[in-house]
Structure 1
């Protein structure tokens, strides 16, 4: 891909934006940076690229004249239905995202692309560890927090990229073609961005849109939406299921995990997995399928599954105080994710929830939660919405707080021996925090200060 002298407009700063700018500068592109935020709000970010000469900035508003732009690179956080973005597309300007740019600049290493509403980070981390244990040059990248563009510049053609992909990132791919893709599940999320479930499903489906019969696509058979995606997938589809015995795929048989893709293999007992909960069993099955079709040895897969530790901010055990367990599930950013977290425990739960409103519906969560959630502590802009829905489902012990410190102190006073204090907000962190990691750290700091 030739970038020298090419006039590139980057829309949206932040982590991937900074990495993209550094890469574009290295290849000699003529860079213009645009962000709707004003310079004073971007001062810290801009300081990271102050040593790069020749960057032009359009801040606080979008550019009116795009006639001399050759290509646009858009950050994941920028909606593609903005009038400004539509104008770019209507003017036949090439528009791609950081993942697509990285793919074009790479030496075409082995790509694994993982998406889904929930479980992406755990599955990506687990699959990455399996590849590392197999002594492969492995980069765990993408939505997990490590920009793909940073890694492709130092990786060779034998490297393996285990890539977590959000629907936002997938919207702006064009040629990206993973050797193995996976769609773990699809439930309602990001409706404020995608507007309809059809749009959201279409965005997720883009992970396999360029695949062919030389590639593999791993799909969750138990999720009706992902199961039906097989009909429009051109890759070799491999299903996984924890509920059905499949003719072909990864499934359960009398408490054993079975791989039956080219031959039947009894891999291990479910109870040998290091990760708890039915949702993690699904994550493990997806990782098994992706690793197996990638040629990883059975002994390696098995060893990692027995020893892998939970990802930070995903059902992460923090501390036990006076017989009360404190668990950080800050990555529970939508109702379905929090359902899975609640179902992972049989003990009574005091749930800390609430945050930024993505337009989600909380009825199913609170109908399921009433079985073992005895108290809910709420914060953030969704507090009133969740409180009203909770009361409709018979959960009446509800406490509203202003911040995480107050939430943790309230829980510590209400909890009894044997209870689980679970931070699983069912909402994004924006408005109170920059990201779910910051929220989870705040929870852990306050728990450790009890």
Structure 2
């Protein structure tokens, strides 16, 4: 059996290692450059690879192809594979059959990293033998090859879900759905929504789907579609006989007639959206039969995720917050919604078909000045030019932070929440967030 891996990053190299261990003839091909550390791993495992090209006769003879999530379906080599009828799958689909571990799959437009990390924190604190993978951390396939864990918490992007055929998580979470990555879905929102719901397509009556019952796209989908999984909703406004909700400043989670209660004030994560992430994660903990005292303790000491509403420093009574992970409008909506003081907002990057109108009321209410940090800021300027008093364009992070500082007074907040991808000026959102933190420390 010949396994061809497209993309020599974390998921690609991990898949190659697992494939080799399971007796496949493995070849890795990357159209870009493979990083040195990954090359070393491939060489030490005796795996053939190429980079900066795709040699067709070495690829089109595959029995199965694992495509890294970053490579679009529209890539010429992927089109040729599909035309030839060669299965093109994701790392998750390839690796899952080789493990008996149960998986908890988490997807959504926003909140999935925080929810994934929180679920992992809850299960690990309870002493479970649990791995973390998917879109985050170490490759799931490589962990399966090393075979150390009884369960996995997997963050799954829509791109990873597009490449599944038979994979099913025992517990699935859909945190929310809002327009994102529409450039990869023919600019059709319904295609993207269907892609997220692939997480539950193979689930049976013995599996669970935890979902946001306040989310419009999710509730619409349920009107016309069904899943066999047992449904566990969570909501900030409704209550349930089975599910998670808020009542009298308590978060309540009822599963299998067993109730868990905790004061919302004791939960470490701040903001309404984080309350939802906590409800989703607690539902998993209950299904995994973790003790209530352990859940309480874990929820009260969880530190949050880097680059997601991360408090960096307070300088001259101005709070600097790094929300570089906000790569779409909906994530930035949550960030602005949780601001309690006049805010200087650093925004911009590569626009993925954003509609800034949904931010309008929050910008009017909370934002005193905008610093545009992107190569093309026209849409942002058109949207908010008449709404805020000050609008400035800069082309690097140092200038962005310096200008933001000049626009602040005591008691203000400077918020980096770009609502865009980062590939115009930065390597990725982590690089963008780290440059922000560095620039703040240099003030």
Return the TM-score normalized by structure 2.
0.94
CA 28–434 in structure 1, closer or farther in 2 if over 3 Å, else same: farther
Aligned counterpart, 2:378: 384
Tell me by how many angstroms 1:80 deviates: 1.8
Does 1:49 pair with 2:42?
yes
CA 56–314 in structure 1, closer or farther in 2 if over 3 Å, else same: closer
Q: What pairs with 1:62-77 in structure 2 (closer than 5 Å)?
A: 63=56, 67-77=60-70
Please give the alpha-carbon distance, in whole angstroms, between the structure 2 residues aligned to 1:298 and 1:43: 44
Give 3-state SS (helix, strand or coil) of 2:293's partner: helix
Aligned counterpart, 1:29: 24
Tell me by how many angstroms 1:61 deviates: 4.4
Tell me by how many angstroms 1:100 deviates: 1.3
Aligned counterpart, 1:163: 154
Please give the alpha-carbon distance, in whole angstroms, between the structure 2 residues aligned to 1:130 and 1:223: 25
Please give the alpha-carbon distance, in whole angstroms, between the structure 1 residues aligned to 2:316 and 2:91: 47
Give 3-state SS (helix, strand or coil) of 2:369's partner: strand
Please give the alpha-carbon distance, in whole angstroms, between the structure 2 residues aligned to 1:139 and 1:65: 34
Deviations 1:200-257 (A, max 9, x none): 1111011111101001100100002223444422100000001112232111111111
Tell me by how many angstroms 1:437 deviates: 1.1
Deviations 1:406-434 (A, max 9, x none): 11111111111111111111011112222
Does 1:93 pair with 2:86?
yes
Aligned counterpart, 1:444: 437
Tell me by how many angstroms 1:47 deviates: 4.7
Q: What pairs with 1:209-224 in structure 2 (closer than 5 Å)?
A: 209-224=201-216
CA 125–150 in structure 1, closer or farther in 2 if over 3 Å, else same: same
Aligned counterpart, 2:129: 137
Tell me by how many angstroms 1:345 deviates: 1.4
| Cα contact 2:18–2:95 (8 A) shared by 1 | no
Does 1:288 pair with 2:282?
yes
Structure 1: give runs of 5+ residues left out of the alignment. Answer: 1-5
Aligned counterpart, 1:202: 194
Please give the alpha-carbon distance, in whole angstroms, between the structure 1 residues aligned to 2:159 and 2:55: 20
| Cα contact 1:32–1:58 (8 A) shared by 2 | no
| Cα contact 1:350–1:415 (8 A) shared by 2 | yes
Give 3-state SS (helix, strand or coil) of 1:305's partner: helix
CA 54–264 in structure 1, closer or farther in 2 if over 3 Å, else same: closer
Tell me by how many angstroms 1:380 deviates: 1.3
Give 3-state SS (helix, strand or coil) of 1:250's partner: strand
Please give the alpha-carbon distance, in whole angstroms, between the structure 2 residues aligned to 1:225 and 1:21: 37
Please give the alpha-carbon distance, in whole angstroms, between the structure 1 residues aligned to 2:136 and 2:34: 23
Number of residue pairs the alignment of both structures matches: 439
Tell me by how many angstroms 1:382 deviates: 4.1
Please give the alpha-carbon distance, in whole angstroms, between the structure 2 residues aligned to 1:26 and 1:85: 25
Please give the alpha-carbon distance, in whole angstroms, between the structure 1 residues aligned to 2:423 and 2:60: 35
Give 3-state SS (helix, strand or coil) of 2:349's partner: coil
Please give the alpha-carbon distance, in whole angstroms, between the structure 1 residues aligned to 2:108 and 2:370: 27
Please give the alpha-carbon distance, in whole angstroms, between the structure 1 residues aligned to 2:35 and 2:211: 43
Please give the alpha-carbon distance, in whole angstroms, between the structure 1 residues aligned to 2:117 and 2:63: 36
Give 3-state SS (helix, strand or coil) of 2:252's partner: strand
CA 266–29 in structure 1, closer or farther in 2 if over 3 Å, else same: closer
Aligned counterpart, 1:328: 322
Aligned counterpart, 2:77: 84
| Cα contact 2:29–2:51 (8 A) shared by 1 | yes
CA 62–228 in structure 1, closer or farther in 2 if over 3 Å, else same: farther
Please give the alpha-carbon distance, in whole angstroms, between the structure 2 residues aligned to 1:269 and 1:43: 47
Does 1:421 pair with 2:414?
yes
Give 3-state SS (helix, strand or coil) of 1:93's partner: coil
Please give the alpha-carbon distance, in whole angstroms, between the structure 1 residues aligned to 2:60 and 2:137: 34
RMSD: 1.9
Tell me by how many angstroms 1:26 deviates: 3.3
Deviations 1:68-109 (A, max 9, x none): 221111000111233432332232212211111221222x21
Please give the alpha-carbon distance, in whole angstroms, between the structure 2 residues aligned to 1:56 and 1:143: 23
| Cα contact 2:42–2:49 (8 A) shared by 1 | no
Out of 293, 300, 310, the position equivalent to 1:299 is 293
| Cα contact 1:352–1:423 (8 A) shared by 2 | yes
Structure 2: give runs of 5+ residues left out of the alignment. Answer: none
CA 328–361 in structure 1, closer or farther in 2 if over 3 Å, else same: same
Out of 139, 142, 155, the position equivalent to 1:150 is 142
| Cα contact 1:377–1:400 (8 A) shared by 2 | yes
Does 1:272 pair with 2:263?
no
Tell me by how many angstroms 1:300 deviates: 1.4
Does 1:16 pair with 2:44?
no
CA 62–205 in structure 1, closer or farther in 2 if over 3 Å, else same: farther
Aligned counterpart, 1:3: none
Please give the alpha-carbon distance, in whole angstroms, between the structure 2 residues aligned to 1:67 and 1:328: 44
Aligned counterpart, 1:181: 172
